């Protein structure tokens, strides 16, 4: 019989209960017992939801307090020595966020018997998603042990509720592949030491009564790598020989198995999951290659987007599989974990009925899985009605006049090559910008946002609800902007920012002022830890309604003779961090966004803004997972950035920002973007991420981050000096900027102020050491076009 399955469910809760509980615990307002109780309630709610939806296989151990890779670090005892020998929550969160016993005026954050001052482990993007994972760090002689019983505990917790689950664990080969070794050796060499831990875990799960276990090996969709393939063979041969073990579902997602199909279909596992949303073309080869006894789990529901599934199309794929394998060897599921989807469309009471009828969130996707499964079992009645309703919604969406705007489409078709080119070379632009900005060596700046305090959030909420008038709200924002401009001047920052107090989110703020976007009230997804984002929905053609940021940038610049950066989110990042329409190529939508941002850039320059930052932290995130697909993506992604930036004069300085990514495989594309200054995240990696720029001999200016803003830990002036000195050994010192890793929106003011004062002090001390100029950082009036 065909079974309905799921690979994972969102952790955060419909009302972001996990976020609230975590932040209360971190601030000392909740006990660990209260935090654990919230987690237990969320797990029970989500298991019951999936059971009630009609799923046959329900995942457990998909819950995490911060990140599932971090969970695996703790599970396998791979905790770096600096964090101590304990595997408790204190150690767990210290690895995620760093730990400092005293900071911000001597406030005590933890008991003195814990590690007193450790930075957070490095964080980077989970494959091509906006989810961030904590990067494991291994020693050459790394030892492993089963240091946690979390997968077993949560299986038993569900069992006590009368729900038999399928525990989910990150596979040993993917776990090692996602990490790094301190000596830069191959992490896969550690596999023989790691496998006994996985074998022991499987045996304990079997003893607890688990019939199935889901082992995720997403590395199987990456390019062919002989060492990885051999590691997979070695790993699953060893696990298949466990004295007692559950049946193994090997889960792959985010792409096709094609690069590694010869290995995947011959591994000794009991079931294999493939992603037919990203790679529907792989079904026929899977049906031909899968072993005679294995089950094929088919991901036909999109786990990463929010559009309603074409159930007729999905049903045809599934019926084809059943005709080849029989109903007992086919499972129906999502393409990947539903972690990347909002929880429940029913909570969206403000969306209009037409748009709402086009969408499906995680809860609705469970319903789609169940509907398809029932249809394949021959159930009719309500099942037929559900499929007919989905068909009607698909047809209505295709026919809707809200989607298409011919004037926007024509503007994209009319883009010419000169619209992607700055007027002069970087060398000439740099000379003109130096005259206009008059900056010192090692110029200091921030990435854009300052802390969004409760006061700021309350004021915005009161304005949106009508409790505060527009005039009152704008007066509040002006006061906040004045304060932050004055404070930046006082501490000696060179290039200022206005603080972005008017913005709720770096993508949603722009989407609200663009045609073709709509917004949810509760469409939250986890980015990392307690950090949640609410991606806009791009349903139609995109164009700017009018100036979006000019009013606040112009106001801030009027307050100071120092340059104030205009702050924009770039077209690729707006695309990547939205739920994007699936009825036209992503490149077409991105070009539409690029033209809208171009218009804003030109208006900022006209308003007297001399430096404009176009953030593109998602450029690397959007890179296809296989090499063959990358050139086309990079071509249009770079083109879109250049369209957005190329409308200004030479003396206007264009910045961009990227974070939490590896840059080696896109460094040529980064150079082709031709930004005058790029700021990047490098603090957690101790400047390791600069290697790509050094080896490439990147010609333009770089701001390597010296302050990890995703941790509450405050770096000292000496720490920042050491990072700048590391950068100066790798790059021409006259090309280096000094800045944090990212925006400061999520930080509190006390730590922010201390850290930025330290940052300015570090830059000033090193200017003297390197005998660099002390510019005035005062604007010189720009020439007319």
Cβ-based neighbours of 639, under 8 Å, separated by 6 or more: 420, 591, 594
What's the CA gap between 344 and 774, in Å, rounded? 55
DSSP per-residue string spanning 534-557: ---EEEEEEEE-S-SSHHHHHHHH
Q: How far is residue 619's CA from residue 576's CA, in Å, rounded to a whole number?
A: 8
Express each pLDDT in 192-240 by its tens digit: 999 999 999 999 999 999 999 999 999 999 999 999 999 999 999 999 9
**Single pTM value for the model:** 0.92
Is residue 493 scored above 90 in pLDDT? yes
At 545, list the tokens: 């309604």
- Of 108-117, 245-254, 486-495, 611-620, which gets the smallest average pLDDT? 108-117
Cα 633–chain centre separation: 18
Encode pLDDT of 30-43 as tens digits. 999 999 999 999 99
Tens-digit pLDDT profile for residues 132-146: 999 999 999 999 999
d(Cα 334, Cα 462) in Å, to the nearest integer? 39
* Rounded CA Rg of the chain: 26
CA 462 to chain centre: 30
CA-to-CA separations, 394 to 93, 398, 518, 542, in angstroms, rounded: 44, 6, 18, 21
Quote the strand ranges of 647-772, DSSP E: 653-658, 677-680, 701-704
- Only one residue has tokens 């915005």, namely 460
Inform me whether the pLDDT recorded for 86 exceeds 70.
Answer: yes
Q: How many residues does the chain have?
A: 785
Least confident of 89-103, 438-452, 755-769: 89-103
Dist. CA 314–CA 277, nearest whole Å: 9
Residue-level pLDDT at 777: 66
Q: What is d(CA 248, CA 271) in angstroms, rounded to the nearest whole number? A: 6
Residues 12-31: tens digit of each pLDDT:
999 999 999 999 999 999 99
End-to-end Cα separation, the chain, in angstroms: 72
Strand, coil or helix: 116:
coil
Q: Where are the alpha helices (DSSP H) in 54-127?
A: 68-75, 89-97
**Phi-psi category of residue 442: left, alpha or beta, with phi > 0 → left and psi -120 to 50 → alpha:** left
Per-residue pLDDT at 364 = 98
353-397: pLDDT as tens digits: 999 999 999 999 999 999 999 999 999 999 999 999 999 999 999
Beta bridge pairs of residue 334: 301
C-alpha span between 428 and 650 (Å, rounded)? 8
Instruction: Report whether pLDDT(107) > 50.
Output: no
Backbone angles phi, psi at 43, to 5 degrees: -60, -45
615 and 657 in contact (C-beta within 8 Å)?
Answer: yes
pLDDT digits (tens, 9 = 90+) for 748-759: 999 999 999 999
Structure tokens at 707: 């302050």
Between 586-606 and 630-645, two packed helices, what is the crossing angle to 10 degrees? 20
Question: What secondary structure does DSSP assign to 234-247, as a single string?
Answer: HHHHHHHT-SS--E
Pick from 227, 643, 573: nearest CA to 412? 643
* CA atoms within 13 A of residue 403's CA, in its CB half-sphere: 15
Question: Across the strands, what pairs with 680?
Answer: 658, 704
Q: Are 422 and 650 in contact (CB under 8 A)?
A: yes
Per the prediction, the chain carries an average pLDDT of 94
Which residues is 528 bridged to in the sheet? 531
Task: Give the whole-angstrom CA distance, residue 447 versus residue 451.
Answer: 12
pLDDT band per the 50, 70, 90 thresholds, residue 686: confident
C-alpha span between 408 and 106 (Å, rounded):
56
Report the distance separating Cα 266 and Cα 292, nearest Å. 11
Closest CA to 608 of 555, 544, 548: 555
Catalytic, 710? Answer yes
Say which residue the tokens 């007297």 belong to. 608
Q: Residue 556: exposed, middle, or buried by beta-carbon count in 10 A (0-12, 13-18, 19+)? A: buried
- In whole angstroms, give the CA distance from residue 500 to residue 479: 12
Whether the predicted pLDDT of 2 surpasses 80: yes
Q: What are phi and psi of 754, to 5 degrees?
A: -60, -45
Q: In this structure, what token pair is assigned to residue 184? A: 């830069």
Write out the DSSP string of 635-647.
HHHHHHHHHHHTT
Strand 677-680 relative to strand 701-704: parallel, antiparallel, unpaired?
parallel
Which one of the listed residues 90, 273, 710, 735 is annotated catalytic? 710
How far is it, in rounded angstroms, from Cα 148 to Cα 169? Answer: 13
User: Does the pLDDT at position 510 exceed 60?
Assistant: yes
Q: How far is CA 126 from CA 55, 134, 509, 527, 690, in A?
A: 27, 9, 25, 10, 20
Q: What is the pLDDT of residue 780?
A: 64
% of the chain with per-residue pLDDT over 90? 89
- pLDDT-derived band at 115 (thresholds 50, 70, 90) equals low
- Judge whether residue 160 has pLDDT over 80: yes
Is the pLDDT at 91 greater than 80? The verdict is yes
Q: Are strands 701-704 and 295-301 parallel, antiparallel or unpaired?
A: unpaired
Tens-place pLDDT, residues 263-315: 999 999 999 999 999 999 999 999 999 999 899 999 999 999 999 999 999 99
């Amino acid at each position: 019989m065909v079974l309905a399955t799921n690979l994972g469910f969102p952790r955060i809760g419909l009302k972001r209960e996990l976020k609230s509980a975590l932040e209360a615990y971190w601030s000392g307002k909740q006990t660990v017992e209260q935090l654990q109780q919230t987690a237990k309630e969320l797990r029970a709610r989500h298991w019951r939801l999936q059971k009630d939806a009609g799923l046959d296989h329900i995942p457990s151990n998909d819950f995490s307090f911060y990140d599932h890779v971090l969970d695996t670090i703790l599970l396998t005892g791979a905790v770096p020595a600096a964090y101590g020998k304990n595997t408790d929550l204190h150690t767990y969160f210290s690895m995620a966020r760093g730990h400092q016993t005293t900071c911000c005026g001597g406030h005590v954050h933890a008991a003195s018997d814990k590690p007193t001052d450790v930075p957070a482990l490095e964080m980077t993007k989970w494959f091509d998603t906006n989810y961030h994972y904590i990067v494991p760090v291994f020693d050459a002689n790394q030892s492993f042990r089963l240091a946690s019983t979390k997968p077993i505990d949560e299986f038993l917790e569900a069992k006590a509720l009368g729900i038999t689950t399928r525990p989910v664990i990150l596979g040993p080969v993917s776990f090692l592949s996602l990490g790094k070794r301190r000596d830069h050796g191959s992490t896969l060499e550690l596999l023989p030491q790691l496998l006994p831990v996985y074998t022991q875990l499987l045996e304990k799960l079997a003893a607890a009564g688990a019939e199935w276990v889901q082992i995720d090996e997403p590395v199987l969709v990456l390019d062919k790598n002989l060492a990885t393939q051999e590691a997979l063979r070695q790993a699953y041969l060893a696990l298949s020989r466990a004295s007692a073990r559950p049946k193994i579902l090997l889960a792959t997602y985010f792409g096709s198995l094609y690069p590694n199909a010869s290995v995947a279909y011959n591994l000794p596992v009991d079931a294999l999951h493939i992603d037919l949303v990203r790679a529907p073309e792989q079904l026929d080869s899977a049906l031909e290659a899968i072993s005679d006894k294995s089950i094929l789990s088919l991901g036909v529901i999109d786990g990463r987007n929010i559009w309603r599934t074409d159930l007729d199309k999905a049903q045809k794929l599934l019926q084809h599989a059943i005709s080849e394998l029989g109903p007992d060897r086919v499972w129906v599921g999502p393409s990947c974990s539903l972690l990347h989807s909002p929880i429940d469309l029913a909570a969206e009471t403000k969306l209009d009925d037409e748009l709402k009828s086009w969408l499906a969130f995680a809860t609705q996707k469970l319903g789609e899985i169940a509907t398809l499964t029932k249809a394949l079992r021959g159930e009719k009645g309500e099942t037929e009605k559900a499929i007919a309703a989905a068909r009607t919604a698909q047809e209505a969406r295709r026919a809707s006049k809200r989607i298409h705007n011919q004037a926007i489409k024509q503007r994209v078709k009319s883009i010419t090559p000169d619209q992607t080119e700055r007027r002069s070379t970087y060398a000439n632009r740099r000379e003109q910008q130096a005259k206009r900005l008059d900056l010192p060596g090692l110029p200091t700046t921030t990435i854009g946002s300052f802390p969004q305090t409760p006061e700021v959030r309350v004021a915005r909420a009161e304005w949106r609800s009508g409790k505060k008038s527009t005039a009152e709200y704008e007066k509040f924002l002006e006061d906040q902007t004045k304060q932050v401009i004055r404070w930046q001047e006082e501490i000696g920052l060179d290039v200022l920012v206005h603080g972005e107090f008017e913005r709720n989110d770096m993508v949603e703020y722009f989407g609200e002022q663009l045609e073709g976007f709509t917004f949810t009230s509760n469409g939250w997804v986890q980015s990392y830890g307690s950090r949640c984002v609410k991606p806009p929905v791009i349903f139609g053609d995109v164009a700017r309604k009018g100036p979006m940021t000019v009013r606040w940038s112009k106001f801030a610049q009027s307050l100071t003779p120092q340059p104030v950066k205009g702050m924009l989110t770039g077209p690729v990042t707006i695309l990547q961090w939205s739920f994007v329409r699936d009825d036209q190529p992503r490149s077409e939508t991105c070009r539409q966004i690029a033209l809208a941002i171009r218009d804003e850039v030109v208006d900022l320059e006209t308003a007297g803004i001399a430096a404009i930052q176009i953030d593109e932290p998602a450029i690397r995130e959007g890179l296809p997972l296989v090499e063959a697909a990358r050139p086309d993506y990079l071509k249009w992604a770079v083109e879109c950035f250049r369209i957005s930036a190329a409308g200004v004069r030479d003396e206007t300085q264009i910045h961009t920002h990227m974070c939490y990514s590896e840059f080696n495989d896109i460094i040529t594309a980064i150079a082709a973007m031709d930004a005058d200054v790029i700021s990047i995240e490098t603090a957690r990696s101790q400047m390791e991420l600069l290697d790509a720029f050094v080896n490439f001999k990147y010609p333009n200016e770089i701001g390597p981050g010296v302050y990890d803003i995703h941790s509450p830990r405050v770096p000292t002036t000496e720490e920042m000096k050491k990072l700048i000195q590391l950068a100066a050994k790798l790059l021409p010192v006259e090309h280096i900027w000094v800045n944090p890793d990212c925006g400061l929106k999520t930080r509190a003011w006390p730590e922010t102020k201390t850290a930025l004062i330290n940052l300015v002090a570090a830059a000033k001390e090193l200017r003297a050491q390197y005998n660099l100029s002390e510019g005035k950082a005062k604007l010189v009036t720009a020439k007319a076009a």
